[in-house]
Amino acid sequence: MKRILMIGIVVAVVSLTGAAVVSGQTAPNRPQGVSATQWIPISDRLGFVVLPSASIGAVAGSADPDVLLVKPPVEGYFMVKDKGGWSRVAITEPVFGPGGT
């Protein structure tokens, strides 16, 4: 009984390891032309593309210990995947609220 259990565990571990290796070798699931460093996957069908930042000038530090140094915001856009491929998502704000009135 222990031998059968041990064989079952070994088969399961080998199968899971093999599946992880094979899935890692498949083509990347990101839009064409988007590098891996720019792509932040949220799910299989949704992700965020980070645009390269234009360096305006880096803040080296502050003499005041109470100053909170925060990185500048990241710019980019969302992409969604459907049957036709990847599409860029444009988010628009309504004029006066959800109903537009």
CA–CA separation, 9 and 3 (whole Å) = 10
What is the per-residue pLDDT for 97? 62
Question: What is residue 92's predicted lDDT score, i.e. its pLDDT?
Answer: 77
Taking all residues of the chain, what is their mean pLDDT, rounded to a whole number?
Answer: 74
pLDDT at 74: 81
pTM (2 d.p.): 0.52
Q: Write out residues in the chain with pLDDT < 50, as ranges.
A: 20-26, 57-58
Q: In what order do the strands lie in the sheet with 39-41?
A: 39-41, 46-50, 76-82, 85-89
List, for residues 10-32, the tens digit of each pLDDT value: 566 566 555 544 444 445 688 99
